[in-house]
Amino acid sequence: MNDFRADLHCHSTCSDGTLTPTEIIHLAKSKNLTGLSITDHDTIGAYTEAVSVANSLQFPLISGAEFSSVHEQTNVHILAYGFSLESKIIHDFCYKHCSRRTLRNQTILDLLKMHGMPIDELDLKESTPHAIIGRPHIALAMIKKGYITSIQQAFHLYIGEGKSCYHPGQKVSVEETLDIIHQAKGLAIIAHPHLIQNVSTVKRLLDMNFDGLEGYYARFHANQNERWVKIAQNKNWLITGGSDFHGTIKPTLPLGASWVNQETFSILLDHFKSNQATPA
């Protein structure tokens, strides 16, 4: 099918997106996408709802998540695909990330309070009861309280990396993340290498045992993607692609802005189906 398009990078209300898993699947159908992976940050909670919806619509869905990690003080995001949704290894890893985020969020809230911007942690949980809470949720609470006027302002002035109310939290290494994904029989992909500015970190990542990289990302032009596509081809790695859709939080990134073809999607879908039969 020449018109086959599958978006392998999007976020729901289970992390920092603004659409529910059900709404994302219906949006994908309306945009004539032919496959999807919901890759929420450090959680697979979306699939509790998404699987039954996708099955009812006969819409192909691949398991996915975007895990936060650090290498040489540089934040690195790693996309995991094709693992079993019943994998205890993945569920335990998501729980570890949830605990890490809870501690980090409390430290950020403490710092905001010290700067005269108190926010109650219960307010965050009430407004996003099913989400893995992160800095975008804190930014929205800051807007609601009238402390700032936009998410961008919150990050630029207070909670962005290196700012007065930023805290990195407990670090999870790239090596540990790779090991967990592979133990769970998943495929590990370097997310948006376009955004990693530390050249030394990029070189080291390319020497690790990843299964691929995200060559087609967001609304980057073909010539910007070409470098990463060639690198992946030379390493015989998978080349994935996706929009990084978040809904109204990132309105310039529509679902389907980047995608993969049927050949790539079929490889991932077959991998997922085989792992569903024998979860790790």
Per-residue pLDDT averaged across 10-17, rounded? 95
**What is the share, in percent, of the chain residues with pLDDT greater than 70?**
98
32-44: pLDDT as tens digits: 999 999 999 999 9
Which helix (H) or strand (E) covers residue 244, if one does?
none
202-257: pLDDT as tens digits: 999 999 999 999 999 999 999 999 999 999 999 999 999 999 999 998 999 999 99
Q: At residue 131, does pLDDT exceed 80?
A: no
166-216: pLDDT as tens digits: 998 889 999 999 999 999 999 999 999 999 999 999 999 999 999 999 999
Q: At residue 129, does pLDDT exceed 70?
A: no
**What is the share, in percent, of the chain residues with pLDDT greater than 90?**
86
- For the four alpha carbons of 160, 103, 72 and 40, in that order, the dihedral sign comes to negative
Integer Cα distance of 199 and 250 in angstroms: 26
- In single-letter form, the type of residue at position 59 comes to F
Integer Cα distance of 151 and 20 in angstroms: 20
Predicted confidence at residue 2, as pLDDT, reads 63
Long-range contacts of 103-109 (CB under 8 A, 24+ apart): 103/169, 103/170, 104/167, 104/168, 104/169, 104/170, 105/133, 105/134, 105/138, 107/167, 107/169, 108/135, 108/138, 108/159, 108/165, 108/166, 108/167, 109/138
Q: At residue 72, does pLDDT exceed 90?
A: no
Integer Cα distance of 8 and 214 in angstroms: 9
Q: Which domains does the chain have, with CATH numbers?
A: 6-85+187-277 (3.20.20.140)
Tokens of 36: 């999807």
Integer Cα distance of 30 and 36 in angstroms: 13
What is the pTM (predicted TM-score) of this model? 0.92
Spatial strand order in the sheet of 238-242: 64-71, 74-81, 187-190, 212-217, 238-242
81-94: pLDDT as tens digits: 999 999 999 999 99
Cβ partners under 8 Å of residue 58, min gap 6: none
